[in-house]
Amino acid sequence: MWIKQYLSLPDTLHKKGGDAFSYVMQMQGKAYRDVGIRKTIQVNIDSKSYFIKQHFGVGWHEIFKNILSFKRPILSAITEVNAIHKLVSIGIATTPLVGYGVKGTNPATLQSFIITEDLGNIISLEDLCADWKNNPPAEKFKGRLIVEVANIARKLHENGINHRDFYLCHLCLDADLLAKNEIKFYLIDLHRVLIHKTISTSDNMKDIAALYFSSMDIGLTTRDLLRFKMYYLPKRVLASGFWQAVESRANKLYKKFHSDKFQQRLAAEKSAIL
């Protein structure tokens, strides 16, 4: 059953008058991602910074492509809304939800948006670890980070949640707290999250493979990987086939990412928002 229109907005936007849904969908700001069917912008409303993701309709081609690949198509921002609510309920910090809206009856042309607070001074784990191979961090600090990431992964998967873009760049730290030697993670970019009624070992493997792939060039040791495994699954040990599948998929992701075709695609996406 498709929702014709639903809005959950702060008063500051309702006070704009007229069609609040169209107003948000037409807002302009600093673009962080623009792939045609979806755009992420940073805006200032009443002197406060927010991020808005505008979904303009995926089209039937994208829907059928996903179905034929046995994937669940992501039709609107409501996927991310539900993901935020779920993460908050299990104690994983993420971008605070401010408002959202969905409009339409046709799944291919469904329009929607989500507004979240700007987390402010954060640093992604990808950026934090970028030079670790040449300048390794203190072992104790690295160990703390690995344990925290493993705990996040475990908590997600024990609750039937799969991020589906579980890379280092989507695990961010509060930079102000980090300067005080305190660790607080935020898990971001939730627009592809799946929430299962039962745990999916296959999707869990894909999440861990994505995480492993994104950490392959930061100089992790065998001991680091064992620490992650221990905290990710402290009460049981998966068959070795799980970890073999993780490594195999991570290697394929690494090869794909470094291919000329994929790098050209990334360059095109970046140029579209400059």
- The token pair at 261 is 């075709």
Instruction: Of 126, 232, 207, give the one whose Cα is nearest residue 170.
Output: 126
Determine which one of 46, 118, 131, 165 is catalytic.
165
**For the sheet containing 30-34, what is the strand order?**
5-8, 97-103, 111-117, 48-55, 38-45, 30-34
- The token pair at 17 is 């008058």
- C-alpha span between 78 and 176 (Å, rounded): 31
Torsion from C-alpha of 15, 16, 19, 23, nearest 10 degrees: -130
- C-alpha span between 6 and 173 (Å, rounded): 33
- The token pair at 109 is 């042309």
Tell me the β-bridge partners of 112. 55, 102
- C-alpha span between 252 and 255 (Å, rounded): 5
Instruction: Of 79, 83, 102, give the one whose Cα is nearest residue 93.
Output: 83
Instruction: Of 157, 174, 175, 158, give the one whose Cα is nearest residue 166.
Output: 157
Active site residue 165: yes
Just list the catalytic residues: 165
